[in-house]
Amino acid sequence: MAHGHVADALQVTKPDVYISIDGGYSWSMTLSGPHHYQIGDHGGLLVAVSMAEPNPQTIKFSTDEGQCWHEYKFSDEKLIFTGLLTEPEGKSSIVLLWGYDSETKNWRMHVINFGDIIKRQCGDGDYESWLSHSSHRSTEGASTAGCLLGVRETFYRLKKDSLCYNGYDHVVVNTSVPCTCTREDYE
């Protein structure tokens, strides 16, 4: 995920949020305007709070790589928002939001466990294989699809239509197969 613009010149307008689901080879807009965002649950959970809303009471979340966003009301109180955080390795589905009350200046922290909101834990049928670097346009031909620096890696990632959570102890499964290096692998 990243902030950016699609333009042929430098922009001074506020950026939108873009997402790549193919390792950065292509990008699509997922949220309009700037947002604070985090990635959790091994990449299966995206969360965002709009920067345009100084006193948010809801958080946006997506479980389908940013195609659909849902809102979850985390508070009835207006909070002067100052931060959003997930566990540093992105394994947890727990999100922290914090800020302070504009009148009392008391700090408040909200802990949201998306494992309680997204009730179903993912099973084997919720994953699909994905060949990394397969979107890369090689000049060497189709036989090199997914091959980068002599390795072709396949990962098992969540299907976009799987409404489930991975869980903290989820192990990312990947397979690596050697492949022939091409001229593009050398400088």
Q: How far apart are CA 47 and CA 84, in angstroms?
A: 9
For position 27, what pLDDT does the model report?
94
Predicted confidence (pLDDT) per residue in 105-161, tens digit: 999 999 999 999 998 999 999 999 988 877 655 555 555 678 888 888 998 889 988
User: Rg of the chain's alpha carbons, rounded to an integer?
Assistant: 20
The answer to whether 44 and 62 are in contact (CB under 8 A) is: no
Q: How far apart are CA 161 and CA 167, in angstroms?
A: 17
Q: How far apart are CA 163 and CA 176, in angstroms?
A: 28
Contacting residues for 169 by C-beta, under 8 A, at least 6 apart: none
Which CATH number is 124-185's, of 3.40.50.720, 2.30.40.10, 2.10.70.80, 1.10.220.10? 2.10.70.80
For residue 181, give both structure tokens.
């290096």
Q: How far apart are CA 119 and CA 109, in angstroms?
A: 23
Q: By percentage, how much of the chain surpasses pLDDT 90?
A: 52
Euclidean distance between the first and the last CA atom of the chain, given in angstroms as a whole number = 28
Q: 12 pLDDT exceeds 70?
A: yes
Q: What does pTM read for this prediction? A: 0.85
Predicted confidence (pLDDT) per residue in 146-175, tens digit: 888 888 899 888 998 888 989 889 888 889
